[in-house]
Amino acid sequence: MSTAPRPLTRWHWLVPALLLAAGTAVLWNGEADRDVARQYYSLGDPTHWPQGYEQPWASLYRWGVAPAIGLAAAGLLLLAWGFGRNAGKAGALRRAGLTIVLGLALGPLLIVNGVLHEAWGRPRPRQVIEFSGSRAFRPVLRPIRDSGAQSFPTGHAAAGYGFVVLYFVWRETRPRLAWLGLAGALGLGSLTAWARIAQGGHWLSDGLWSAGVVWFAAWAVALALERRGAGNRPRIPGASRSGAPRPWAAALCGGAALALCAGYLAFHPLIERVDRELPIPPGLSEVEIEWTGTPADAHVLSTPGTAVRLTATLSGRGVPWAGLVDRWETQPWPAGSFHGRYTIAVSGYRRSQTVELWVAAPPDVRVTLVRHGEG
């Protein structure tokens, strides 16, 4: 049984706008932002954000974008299916596919990652002074020129929130699924936003604004398609008035879906941490480490205790199976000292990488690092 189309109303933008305004008012001065981030900050850990490398936060960082990539590919395949069919359900398929593709492209991809993320200049938690960084804290909605600060908003969370497009796809035909899609989007986006807080990458208000931007982008796309369909013109660009198939458009959309998935697999987010405690006999006052392998930033820290610990971290983009590999080899040493070779390598193809090494030693132990380049 068919039902009459239910047009979008002012409540579809007014309620989210009021919620976004209320949330922004609560977070305006930044105290709540810093209080939440402080729960995951650890001055005694060399990375300062150790929980971010644990589960489930590490997996949410690595795989949190994958569902949105799959959804975008599904939208492109719906378009391909619609362009490859005769009149009938072809128009509905094309409209659903276009809502998904344009909603994800406009919100998470263009506005969040392409514009705001690059131009807003808000420092991340790990970059501000009170969390061992060098920049001053900036409250939400106070942009500044700083190309190295890209906290506002969060791109990972925007990918999760991107599933709000399903609400607009199913709103008229499957209202229960529409609400489930909306709930799933809010759940996935919020979990991913929290993972980025645990990693010192974003503030609570960054996640709030990611949700707002993505919702209004999806709403704008749905509204534009609704108004286009209300006229006499074809509803979807590329669709003929006769409803005849468009094989070239179907092939183009199918190829774009494959290219999107392949591109994501080659540019997959990477995060990993390796900890190692050196087998140093007690009573030694000098440790020399020959450091060989992947170029990295090295830091020597003085910490309480009796052990010397090595911590290596990896972040960047590459294939999903790329990872950090390390090896320690103890070398002969003269009396009163300790000598060994530490090798760091990143396996698998990667487009970009940042490797850091921390050496934490007791105050009475002198550590010397000797860099030997690639191993």
In angstroms, the Cα distances linking 15 to 9, 18, 279 are 11, 5, 60
Phi-psi region at 190: left, alpha or beta (left = phi > 0; alpha = psi -120 to 50): alpha
- DSSP letter at 186 equals H
Taking only the tens of pLDDT, the chain with its 375 residues reads: 345 567 899 999 999 999 999 999 999 999 999 999 999 999 989 999 999 999 999 999 999 999 999 999 999 999 999 887 766 678 888 999 999 999 999 999 999 999 999 999 999 999 999 999 999 999 999 999 999 999 999 999 999 999 999 999 999 999 999 999 999 999 999 999 999 999 999 999 999 999 999 999 999 999 999 988 764 444 455 554 545 668 888 999 999 999 999 999 999 999 999 999 988 887 788 888 888 877 778 889 988 888 899 999 999 999 999 999 999 998 887 777 888 999 998 999 888 889 999 999 998 888 988 887 664
Q: How far apart are CA 199 and CA 49, in angstroms?
A: 6
- Please report which residue ranges of 44-146 form alpha helices under DSSP H: 57-63, 66-83, 90-104, 117-119
Q: How far apart are CA 171 and CA 177, in angstroms?
A: 8
Q: Model pTM?
A: 0.90
Three-state DSSP at 360 gives strand
Residue with tokens 């509204």: 223
Give the tens place of pLDDT for each residue, 316-342. Answer: 999 999 999 999 998 887 777 888 999
Evaluate whether 215 touches 236 at the Cβ level (below 8 Å).
Answer: no
